[in-house]
Amino acid sequence: MEQHPATPSPADQGIEVQIHSSPKFWPFILTFAVFGALVGLIIGLLGEPSQEYTRASASGFFAIFGAGLGVGIGALAYVIVDRVTSRKTTKHLAVPLAEDTDSSGQQG
């Protein structure tokens, strides 16, 4: 059984493909959301105490607001990084692998 024929058929010819490395979306979003929540929490804890709200409720409000702002900034940062890395695409030659055959020579 011959795996690689000496003269490849037209179907075995390589295909030119473009490889693009892009960042992962969710790690960007989650990182910026956590960072924004921490900044909001710190702002809430260090701010002036209020007559109307407890320090815990004000800190929670600022943490939620900071997380939302962090998600927006993270999405914007992801788009910028994705655009920068998409310009660095490379072209490679992809060669299809031989189909699997069983011991009797039949495909399957």
Question: pLDDT (tens digit, 9 = 90+) per residue, 33-84?
Answer: 999 999 999 999 998 888 898 999 999 999 999 999 999 999 999 999 999 9
Residue 97 lies in a domain: no
Which tops the pLDDT comparison, 38 or 99? 38
Residue 69 lies in a domain: yes
Residue 28 lies in a domain: yes
Residue 43 lies in a domain: yes
DSSP string covering the chain: --SS-SS--GGGS-EEEEE-----HHHHHHHHHHHHHHHHHHHHHHSPP-SSS-HHHHHHHHHHHHHHHHHHHHHHHHHHHHHHHHTT-EEEEE-PPPPPB-TTS-B-
Residue 95 lies in a domain: no
Residue 16 lies in a domain: no
Number of domains in the chain: 1
Whether pTM > 0.85 for this model: the answer is no
- The residue range of the domain holding 62 is 24-84
Residue 67 lies in a domain: yes
Residue 103 lies in a domain: no
